[in-house]
Structure 1
């Protein structure tokens, strides 16, 4: 075998046989869940005789899981969260279970884009800080779970976004070694997780980011999920 042939084979293995992975955040990226999260949080705050939060506060509240959301709501009430046994977190989850599909909806074009990527042999995964139980229920409800090869939530591992291991450990679930990854999200947590894994980064401008996503050095910022198809060459 000539040196040229060997170089071609190595190039083929690296580029042509490389699996294409697209990692998606959930809330603020695929799912508009703000109303149901707000309803659940305000129900909890009402039970505690605390002031409710406004929808305008949602960008600051979501993205790091339910516990952080509750802690931030306490801060908005000028109170310090001191619930060491997590019974308030458990109560929030109980409330959320009763209404998490009441008003939540997929953003426009989500089902179309996922189907298109899946048909073109992209490996799709969910990397979200949402409790994994709810992720599975939501994906089943909207009939899009079939497109995903792996799913992880904020309680799947001992770490979560922005820790880059949240992404790498999710990819390990599908036993990939040679792959290229693109992360689609809406927040600084997604940006950090993607960049520290040398993944391409796409940020959705309609999401819940409090920070300016145009400062996060994304490869693409868009308000139309279909734009990722062109970016990925589909």
Structure 2
């Protein structure tokens, strides 16, 4: 193994509380939204690309209204997250510091452009990661973005660490082993490795 590629939401942090604050600051302007969005709603869509999230959470909005809300919410999200951050899972900074001494570390997440940068900005973890990618910049699927990171950084034996079935499928698409973060938001039945807590990565690898 020469590197580790990480999902972000449900793997490195939980940003749902901050995202709820950001979205609630906008939702008052959208009378067509019939109910409040809960933390459980957000956690259920973590790992999906932004258009899929919009369709699942805002079925009462027409396509134009939904796209406008999502565009605005992504910008507000990035601002809130850059200023308030999210909740890092236990020992994330200590573990990535240790792992970065032995492996090159990367992030590939199904998020908008600016989201990973907001994570870096508040939590000051950019120094541990070599590169990152997301569909907000490339328009590609998670599996394609993993392959892009592999090609761009000449990786031959990476693993992907994530918490959802979508993460597993992305790793499979990229042809690399999948490490299932069981403490995250998703349920996965097939995986190459599993961790109950983030710090188990140090013992595993």
The TM-score normalised by the length of structure 1 is 0.78
Question: How far off its partner does 1:91 sit?
Answer: 1.4
Question: How far off its partner does 1:229 sit?
Answer: 1.7
**2:14 equivalent in structure 1:** 32
1:60 to 26, 44, 66: 44
1:88-99 → structure 2 map (5 Å cutoff) = 88-99=69-80
Question: How far off its partner does 1:84 sit?
Answer: 7.5
User: Do the aligned partners of 1:191 and 1:218 also contact (CA within 8 Å) in 2?
Assistant: yes
Residue 136 in structure 1 maps to residue 113 in structure 2: no
Question: How far off its partner does 1:194 sit?
Answer: 0.8
Residue 206 in structure 1 maps to residue 183 in structure 2: yes
SS of the residue corresponding to residue 83 of structure 1 reads helix
**2:198 equivalent in structure 1:** 225
User: Do the aligned partners of 2:79 and 2:118 also contact (CA within 8 Å) in 1?
Assistant: no
Structure 2 runs not aligned, ≥5 long: none
1:1-234 → structure 2 map (5 Å cutoff) = 20-49=2-31, 50=33, 51-75=35-59, 79=60, 81-83=62-64, 86-100=67-81, 101-102=83-84, 104-120=86-102, 122-161=103-142, 164-174=143-153, 176=154, 179-209=156-186, 212-213=187-188, 215=189, 217-232=190-205
Question: How far off its partner does 1:206 sit?
Answer: 2.3
User: Do the aligned partners of 1:125 and 1:171 also contact (CA within 8 Å) in 2?
Assistant: no
Deviating above 4 A after TM superposition, structure 1's stretches of 4 or more consecutive aligned residues are: none
SS of the residue corresponding to residue 175 of structure 2 reads coil
User: Do the aligned partners of 1:23 and 1:126 also contact (CA within 8 Å) in 2?
Assistant: yes
Structure 1 runs not aligned, ≥5 long: 1-18
Largest Rg, 1 or 2: 1
- Alignment length (residue pairs): 202
Looking at structure 1, the residues matched to 129 and 49 of structure 2 have their Cα atoms a distance apart, in angstroms, of 21
For each residue in 1:22-61, what CA deviation from the matched residue of structure 2 results, as whole angstroms up to 9, or x when unmatched?
A: 0001111101101122222333333212211222222322
The structure carrying a bigger helix percent of its residues is 2
SS of the residue corresponding to residue 93 of structure 2 reads helix
User: Do the aligned partners of 1:35 and 1:103 also contact (CA within 8 Å) in 2?
Assistant: no
The TM-score normalised by the length of structure 2 is 0.88
Question: How far off its partner does 1:230 sit?
Answer: 1.8
